[in-house]
């Protein structure tokens, strides 16, 4: 395997991003979308992290940093909205993730982003984590628009042996089995290859073989930096100053990911594609503080609707940007990428299901105002936080604790886990998830808690991104308006799809995770 180690010369090569593009582009741009997993707000260098990310810093500094950018608090929901351009309430995927033995996937009636790019004449390739359902072959990436696929189908796995362990409740056992596919075939022979390097090698190989005259859509969904905390020691060595062992390992994983992004960018330059490429970098959700991640100074973490769970690290790097080297504070959501990228490709979206995303290219490239003024974060009537939260005995929902409804006139049940953003306002109902502020890594601060939660909470996010000053009593008209908007969204929601586990999912002691129906 090629080493991920980038020399100073390689990093220096990225300075070509600082040069104005002189290429007259007569064809649609190549699009490379890199999705990190569980990458925290505080864990990128340009957010004053102690973790070094020279490639992400350089790329984003020469591009456009998205500082008012939102994702979903979990893996499958973010990926489904990226691929469909639709809120998860409109696909029935508003509750949790797709677990390995659940017999469902992103509804097959949905036309996904790679299908639309392929219709626009693109070569479409995917590398990395799918996590959008696999119970039957029609759910697989190669049946949903990708020409090629190399990666894993479940939500996480061992970085070296590429096995995933999951309970099979109907059989009362836990199964550990291989989860790696090349196309639709099980991929063996990669044991010992670190996944960040393995996926980067495949991505750069695709780029090296790409004909410049054929537009490329490459989706690289890295395993990093999701648990388990595994990384070659060479990446951990520079972080001996970090006392927390989980944070130290996590930092090494971030460094490996940062070099992977640099190598992918370098491959685009060497193949002569960069001058006509749009590269998007995004996390899928906030960092998981249980495994070394940090969203400081934001409140909450992965699995929550607090800013720490949903405000995402993201940027666009491209010589095609009209205002490079800027920061965008326009409201942008992960569902906006489908109409934005299909628009860049010259494709059509008038034959999809109704979209919730907006084309935000002019917001990113030219600094125009965002067409998005409202964002539904989610409505999940079944929500339970299954992860431990300091100071809480278990994942409690306010649906269990709240009697009566302070929003009765709106028609919306405020015990339901939900959140909506409108302009500068953010309203949360029910139990939003772990509600504390985790301290800055390496700092002297301690975990801090706020006043007891209310069934309805309002924050001015523009003035108060840390969600410390709850103002629902001062702005009752805003509360009423946003509760009515939640009620309207809820009326358009599909029933939750969250089927019981199917025992036929069990791959057996010598099998591999994959379709069974």
Question: Which DSSP symbol is given to 64?
Answer: E
CB count within 10 Å of CB 185 equals 10
CB count within 10 Å of CB 188 equals 11
Cβ-based neighbours of 470, under 8 Å, separated by 6 or more = 450, 451, 454, 457, 458, 459
For residue 297, whether the previous peptide bond is cis, meaning omega lies within 30 degrees of 0, is yes
Task: Indicate which residue of 30, 47, 131, 333 is catalytic.
Answer: 131
Q: Which residue, among 234, 251, 348, has the nearest Cα to 294 in the 3D structure?
A: 251
Partnered with residue 375 across adjacent β-strands are: 421
| Cα distance between residue 49 and residue 294, in whole Å | 9
| Cα distance between residue 410 and residue 420, in whole Å | 14
SS3 456: strand
Is 505 an annotated catalytic residue? no
C-alpha torsion 127→128→132→133, nearest 10:
100
Task: Indicate which residue of 42, 75, 377, 417 is catalytic.
Answer: 75
Q: Assess contact for 436 and 448: CB atoms under 8 A.
A: yes
| Cα distance between residue 245 and residue 50, in whole Å | 14
Segment 333-336 long-range contacts (CB within 8 Å, at least 24 positions apart): 333/69, 333/70, 333/71, 333/81, 333/357, 333/372, 333/375, 334/70, 334/71, 334/72, 334/78, 334/81, 334/82, 334/282, 335/81, 335/82, 335/84, 335/85, 335/86, 335/87, 336/85, 336/360, 336/372
What b-and-e string marks burial along 422-458, b requiring 16 or more CB atoms within 10 Å of the CB? Answer: beebbbbbbbbbbbbbbbebeeeeeeeeeeebbbbbb
Is 75 an annotated catalytic residue? yes
| Cα distance between residue 109 and residue 205, in whole Å | 32
Work out the angle at residue 110's Cα, subtended by the Cα atoms of residues 107 and 111, and round it to the nearest 5 degrees: 140
Alpha carbon of 481 to those of 16, 407, 410, 464: distances in Å?
48, 11, 8, 20
Cβ-based neighbours of 430, under 8 Å, separated by 6 or more = 383, 397, 398, 399, 402, 414, 415, 416, 417, 418, 455
Active site residues: 75, 131
């Amino acid at each position: 395997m090629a080493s991920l180690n980038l020399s100073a010369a390689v990093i220096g090569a990225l300075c070509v991003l600082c040069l104005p593009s002189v290429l007259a582009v007569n064809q649609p741009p190549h699009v490379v979308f890199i999705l990190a997993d569980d990458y925290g707000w505080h864990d990128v260098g340009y957010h004053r992290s102690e973790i070094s990310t020279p490639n992400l810093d350089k790329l984003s500094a020469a591009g456009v940093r998205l500082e008012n950018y939102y994702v979903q608090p979990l893996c499958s929901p973010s990926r489904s909205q990226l691929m469909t351009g639709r809120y998860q309430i409109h696909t029935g995927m508003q509750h949790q993730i797709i677990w390995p033995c659940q017999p469902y996937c992103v509804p097959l009636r949905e036309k996904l982003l790679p299908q639309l790019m392929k219709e626009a004449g693109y070569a479409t390739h995917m590398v990395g984590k799918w996590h959008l359902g696999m119970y039957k072959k029609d759910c697989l990436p190669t049946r949903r628009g990708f020409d090629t696929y190399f990666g894993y189908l479940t939500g996480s796995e061992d970085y070296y042996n590429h096995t995933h362990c999951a309970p099979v409740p109907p059989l009362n056992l836990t199964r550990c089995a291989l989860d790696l596919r090349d196309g639709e075939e099980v991929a063996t022979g990669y044991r010992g290859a670190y996944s960040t390097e393995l996926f980067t090698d495949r991505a750069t190989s695709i780029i090296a073989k790409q004909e410049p005259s054929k537009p490329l859509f490459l989706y690289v969904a890295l395993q990093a930096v999701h648990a388990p905390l595994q990384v070659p020691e060479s990446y951990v060595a520079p972080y001996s100053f970090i006392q927390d062992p989980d944070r130290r390992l996590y930092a090494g994983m971030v460094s490996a990911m940062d070099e992977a992004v640099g190598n992918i960018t370098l491959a685009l330059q060497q193949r002569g594609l960069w001058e006509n490429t749009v590269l998007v970098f995004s996390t899928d959700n906030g960092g998981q503080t249980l495994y070394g991640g940090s969203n400081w100074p934001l409140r909450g973490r992965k699995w929550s609707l607090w800013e720490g769970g949903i405000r995402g690290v993201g940027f666009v790097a491209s010589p095609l940007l009209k205002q490079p080297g800027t920061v965008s504070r326009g409201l942008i959501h992960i569902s906006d990428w489908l109409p934005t990228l299909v628009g860049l490709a010259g494709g059509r979206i008038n034959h999809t299901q109704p979209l919730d995303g907006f084309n935000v290219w002019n917001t990113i490239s030219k600094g125009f105002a965002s067409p998005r003024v409202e964002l539904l974060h989610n409505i999940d009537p079944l929500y339970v936080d299954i992860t431990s939260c300091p100071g809480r005995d278990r994942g409690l929902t306010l649906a269990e604790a709240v009697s009566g409804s302070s929003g009765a006139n709106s028609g919306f049940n405020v015990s339901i886990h939900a959140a909506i953003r409108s302009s500068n306002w953010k309203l949360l109902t029910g139990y939003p998830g772990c509600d504390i502020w985790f301290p800055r890594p390496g700092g002297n601060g301690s975990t801090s808690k706020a006043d007891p939660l209310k069934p309805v909470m309002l924050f001015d996010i523009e003035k108060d991104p840390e969600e410390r000053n709850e103002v629902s009593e001062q702005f009752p008209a805003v509360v009423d308006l946003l509760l009515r908007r939640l009620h309207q969204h809820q009326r358009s929601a599909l029933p939750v799809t969250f089927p019981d586990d199917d025992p036929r999912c069990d791959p057996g002691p010598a099998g591999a995770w994959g379709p069974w129906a």
